[in-house]
Structure 1
Amino acid sequence: MRDWLAQRAASTPDAEALVAAATGTTWTYAELDEAVEKMAGSLAALGLSTGDRLGVFLDTRVEYVTLVHAAMRLGLRPIPVSDRLTDAELAPRLERADVTAVLCGAATEQRAVEAATTDDDGLAVPVVSLDEPQWKRVTHLRAVEQTDFEPHDWDRSEPLLSLFTSGSTGEPKLVVLRVGNVLSSAVTLGFRLGVHPDDRYLLTLSPHHTGGIMPLYRAVLAGTSVVLRTEFDPGAAADDLRTYDATGVSLVPTMLERMLDARGTLADSLRVVLLGGAPAPERLIERCRDYSVPVHPTYGMTEAASGITVATPQEAFDRPSTVGRPLVWTDVSVRDDDGEELPPGEVGELVVDGPSVTTGYYDDPTATGDAFGPHGLRTGDVGYRDEEGYVYVLNRKDDRIVTGGENVDPGEVLDVLGDHPHVTAASVVGVPDDEWGERVAALVVRSEPSMTAGDLETFARERLAGFKIPKTIRFTDALPRTDSGSVRRPEVRERLAAAAESTIGDADTTSGGDDDGVTTDTTSDDDSATADSGDDTPDGRATDGDSGGDNHTDDAPANDTPDDGSGTTVAESDDTDDDTTTGDTDSDTVGDTDDDTTTGADDTTAGADDTTTGADDTTTGADDTTTGADDTTAGDTDDPAALVDGDNDDDPTDLGIGESADADDGA
């Protein structure tokens, strides 16, 4: 089959395909198709061809939409990654994915180059930028002369794209999603929600999550429109719903709460608010009921190409804890440790099967074998189904942390802390947080008393994305352990939860000795955004991008994913007494030898469209929910007629890319 955009443009060329939320600029399917054709020609001129794996390390912009469809036209397999990653986090992902080239923008170029640089200062793979390059070794896609190419003829069994997860061991797994997976997901979600010809879907989530990229595929299949926000701001996003008469949006609970706080309720035009990425508090569901917000709690994961279950608003109001019933063609069973199916009401592991579920992870037969069995994908999520078939997700079999809809693997954080020369042991857990659901917290044994939590935070900041940095750090003489030597994680969590609530001068001590400790409670808004740039045309406009580090626009409001600010709260550390508790094996502790093994699919995605609560790597949709008001773009015009002028920077046919103004990426 031809790429879906080509078929859609042939079917409804004059239908609206895309709207830039920041400017109101619109593109028809015919105009978007022309931009895609030219971008595909430029990519082909670089030597990229069918089957090549294109790493996409790019801030959210309208150009991203062009790229997704250009890749499908040429037969490339895009591998989007978060634009918030550090170069140290990006490098192993590029290697793991066997990418042929890396596509970046001004906001991500420096980190892309550093991640791709070899020991002899060469580049392991070519780095290509949509914007004017800052490095001589980087190719500017706009400067590449287009070449003719043969559009790829797709088969349903072929890999369409791959998305990373961060598995329970901290090693990211790469989910291979085939044409049939994505097509099945789009169709089944359409069956549940309905599709109207005039639907407009407000996209606020990063395209490196299924919640951000699946709406792009769904829209061309259905012939509907996407309204793209390059950054998330609660009030502005709520206003966009009204301004553009949006009928759908994908959000995580924190995003929805902030939008309601900012505007009271949401637009009357809305038919669907897909809510996922983290459990929705009952108070939020009740608030939606009281203000007539059509909320659809969902459960999904990257391995299922998006949603697995979806509840209707009435089902959610009647049963505030449910994530609904399975979508058509999707089987959800609850099984015990032996794989036997459990009856309604009994708690076990959720196992998922169906045509939207991937067949495995890229080049990882061990992980694939561990996660997939005769009944389908073992999600690693614990829950149950009631007598009427409604699904309830209770918790996770592993100890991953879901903070603001973002998945954090404690083992990855622990590895970074353990690399500090003054850390002799540590344990990393998630503790309750009213705003983010959970926050990352660490109990640390230090060898140098002069080391502060601020020192450790600075060390971590250079090696981890902002949302992964511990917001609470507490020092102790020794970690609480069982007789067998395992860290007692419930006690660690209890101590750190108390520490997270402490304020300056509060002493949180228990019997036994106490160590001079510091609790950091970082609450500023750095790094909590999806570093989305303000590009507002498929051909690449000016960007105000976040490098994934600590730079945001001055007027950026509070972010909607966990922040990584530097505010610190001084408190007395926990003592080292060993009250007995249930002993958990723990793979997330420096110096521990026992592993906390887990089955399960890694990366339950969420956020709306791919809403999830569970499975290793619960992702969210709001991927990187960003703060910041709409970006304005140089050369933008609200007159669609002007798009045919080749000299206009808003022309989506101008190679599908364009010159970008200098981006503030802090590089």
Structure 2
Amino acid sequence: MRTKGLRGELAADTAIGAGNVLDRVLAHGADPHGPGLTFDTCVDGYPAERPLTLGQLDERVAARAAWLHERGIGRRDPVAVWATSAADMVLSFLALTRLGAIPALMNGRLRPEIAAEYIRRLRAVGVLADAAHTEALAGHDPGAPLLGQPAEAGTGDPATAPAPYRHHDEDPVVITHTSGTTGVPKAVLHSHASLFAATRHLLSMPQAQGTRRILNALPAPHTATVLMVNQALGNRAEMLLLSEQSGQRVLDAIQRWRPDGVFGFSVTWAELARFDLTGYDLDSVRLWFNTGDASHEPHVRRLVAVGSRDVVTRDGVTRVPGSVFIDGLGSSEMGHSMFHITHTTETNRYGRCVGRPYRFTRVAVLDPDGTELSPGQVGWLGIESPSLFRGYWNDSVTTHRSRLRGWYLTGDLVYADDEGRYYHLDRAVDSVDAGNGKRFYTALSEERILAACPDVTDCTVVMVAGGDGVVTDVLLELAAGADPDTDRTDAVRAALGDDVGATLRRVVPVRADDIPVTVTGKVRKVALRERYLTESPS
């Protein structure tokens, strides 16, 4: 089934891509008084959370494009953007791509020395940094001049902005970065066509419930936010973008703004699971959409128990209690989640199942030589998709190392069942070769512990292989009111199973702040392995 109207026209438009969605939506006759975007901070005199119409959004983007053009920024110029607010990130992206430049969006939580080195490696022609990050760069040499603050660019005259750049499919349109689990993050390049491939597919399909009024709780500098902004513009949907994604901030925004869909990463759902959600008004939410790391079963179950959704019955469409959670597996490099599985209160397929691939992609489970494995066999996840990134900016070595026999290797270990569903077991670097053909998985172990221990809201499993075999430590984040002195060792060992349970060294209650995380909230298991390898049991 193909959609008609504006969404269908956009899906069929060969000129549209990730770098010009705003311009093409207007060119196809979208109402300038219709929805643009809403930000949680003020924008050029517009107060926080006041919606910008499509026409106002275009004007604010044109003002920034004019300001940047006056400073010599043009096509193919990489410009680093380091800021905190979603408005600074998204408006800078839209303005720079309007000029044919290449925005390099940077997470505001990067350490200054890492940020400076990252910008140097970009060989950027300039840097846009807000006041806090301009100060943070003082004393560091990013190898590029500071152009000013992103909000300053809003003082440009939109009437003097050059005509929008005409993109080619392979034109670079954005550089985002990985989480940086081991140091300087990798710079991920997407093209005009690659970052729109998934959006084009979705626009050609009927619009899903929960995508008309969206709360974006994804990190603003991430590839996922660029994707969701373009999807919202193409769907003519309302979208509020949050600059900070803590659980309390998200819950407050849901109650205040009443979205029908909330988009985020698994770390946000884990934070929400720490709250008693029945104490919040979440009835407006029909859809929770997860991308990045796959989510854990107990977190999903808590979310689908609240909100409401539409179902088709003999009496027509009926609103029923309980929302929908769409899970999957994605990354900056993939350009969009590659898999999807839908959960409601009535579904029961968990166990790290990430579902089936989207129709625009091909996936395979591979052995180390790139040979495809049969269902049930665990191997490396290989992806082939038009949505894939175009390489790591200024790093051909790492780009080519990520390819094997035509497949992009994601670094994940998975298996498929006989019905074409895929199951994510772990990141390869976090798993452990236990010898004798056995491999142990941290993510799968965490899933099992959370499912077995209802007074645990989150957990981290650390496995280290040494001369005496594998040693496993389990770090538990307890629910409010849970007794930290309770010995949960037997319950955890039983959840892990005989093989992994035999390696268990200790079970330690921790606070969320005790766990080292990346700028996007992923647990830095490499740092934990280094820490727990050298520590003796307490």
TM-score with structure 2 setting the length: 0.72
CA contact 1:185–1:306 (8 Å) conserved in 2: yes
Higher relative contact order by CA 8 Å / sep ≥ 6: 1 or 2? Answer: 1
CA contact 2:462–2:474 (8 Å) conserved in 1: no
| Equivalent of 2:430 in 399, 417, 421 | 399
In 2, the alpha carbon distance for the partners of 1:168 and 1:235 equals 26
> For residue 299 of structure 1, what is the aligned residue in structure 2?
329
Question: 1:304-343 maps to which residues of 2 (within 5 A)?
Answer: 304-313=334-343, 317-321=347-351, 322-343=353-374
> For residue 5 of structure 1, what is the aligned residue in structure 2?
22
> For residue 174 of structure 1, what is the aligned residue in structure 2?
187
What per-residue deviation string (whole Å, max 9, x for no partner) do you get for residues 584-634 of structure 1? xxxxxxxxxxxxxxxxxxxxxxxxxxxxxxxxxxxxxxxxxxxxxxxxxxx
CA contact 2:212–2:261 (8 Å) conserved in 1: yes
- The answer as to 2:410 corresponding to 1:379 is yes
In 1, the alpha carbon distance for the partners of 2:477 and 2:217 equals 30
> For residue 7 of structure 2, what is the aligned residue in structure 1?
none
% identity of equivalent residues:
22
Q: How far off is 1:24 after superposition? A: 3.3
Q: Which amino acid aligns with 2:355?
A: G
Q: 1:106 to 1:562 in 2, by over 3 A?
A: farther
> For residue 57 of structure 2, what is the aligned residue in structure 1?
32
> For residue 77 of structure 2, what is the aligned residue in structure 1?
52
CA contact 1:84–1:527 (8 Å) conserved in 2: no
Give the number of equivalent residue pairs: 443
- Please report the RMSD computed on the Cα atoms of aligned residues, expressed in angstroms: 4.0
Q: 1:145 to 1:218 in 2, by over 3 A?
A: closer
CA contact 2:373–2:379 (8 Å) conserved in 1: yes
* 2:397 alignment partner, SS class: helix
* 1:378 alignment partner, SS class: strand
Q: How far off is 1:161 after superposition? A: 0.6
CA contact 1:60–1:206 (8 Å) conserved in 2: no
Q: 1:157 to 1:277 in 2, by over 3 A?
A: closer
Q: Which amino acid aligns with 1:225?
A: E
Unaligned runs of 5+ in 2: 1-14, 42-47, 307-321, 433-441, 451-455, 479-483, 488-507, 525-533
Q: How far off is 1:246 after superposition? A: 1.5
> For residue 574 of structure 1, what is the aligned residue in structure 2?
536
Question: 1:281-300 maps to which residues of 2 (within 5 A)?
Answer: 281-291=296-306, 292-300=322-330
CA contact 1:198–1:224 (8 Å) conserved in 2: yes
Q: How far off is 1:6 after superposition? A: 1.6
Q: Which amino acid aligns with 2:247?
A: P
- The answer as to 2:352 corresponding to 1:352 is no
> For residue 493 of structure 2, what is the aligned residue in structure 1?
none
> For residue 207 of structure 2, what is the aligned residue in structure 1?
194
> For residue 69 of structure 1, what is the aligned residue in structure 2?
94
- The answer as to 2:230 corresponding to 1:217 is yes
In 2, the alpha carbon distance for the partners of 1:529 and 1:267 equals 29
* 2:185 alignment partner, SS class: coil
Question: 1:109-120 maps to which residues of 2 (within 5 A)?
Answer: 109-116=134-141
Q: Which amino acid aligns with 1:16?
A: P
What per-residue deviation string (whole Å, max 9, x for no partner) do you get for residues 387-437 of structure 1? 111111001211399xxxxxxxxxxxxxxxxxxxxxxxxxxx999695554
**Which piece of structure 1 moves more, 162-171 or 32-41?**
162-171
CA contact 1:113–1:127 (8 Å) conserved in 2: no
* 1:206 alignment partner, SS class: coil
CA contact 2:294–2:329 (8 Å) conserved in 1: no
Q: How far off is 1:156 after superposition? A: 1.1
Q: Which amino acid aligns with 1:39?
A: R
In 2, the alpha carbon distance for the partners of 1:438 and 1:197 equals 31
> For residue 438 of structure 2, what is the aligned residue in structure 1?
none
CA contact 1:350–1:381 (8 Å) conserved in 2: yes
Q: 1:18 to 1:69 in 2, by over 3 A?
A: same
* 1:205 alignment partner, SS class: coil
| Equivalent of 2:277 in 257, 263, 268 | 263
In 1, the alpha carbon distance for the partners of 2:137 and 2:410 equals 32
In 2, the alpha carbon distance for the partners of 1:326 and 1:375 equals 18
* 1:238 alignment partner, SS class: helix
Q: 1:5 to 1:525 in 2, by over 3 A?
A: farther
Q: 1:524 to 1:380 in 2, by over 3 A?
A: closer
- The answer as to 2:117 corresponding to 1:127 is no
TM-score with structure 1 setting the length: 0.59
CA contact 1:299–1:307 (8 Å) conserved in 2: yes
In 2, the alpha carbon distance for the partners of 1:114 and 1:355 equals 41
CA contact 2:270–2:458 (8 Å) conserved in 1: no
CA contact 2:179–2:519 (8 Å) conserved in 1: no
> For residue 313 of structure 2, what is the aligned residue in structure 1?
none
Q: How far off is 1:193 after superposition? A: 7.8
**Which piece of structure 1 moves more, 186-195 or 16-25?**
186-195
In 1, the alpha carbon distance for the partners of 2:95 and 2:475 equals 51
CA contact 2:179–2:518 (8 Å) conserved in 1: no
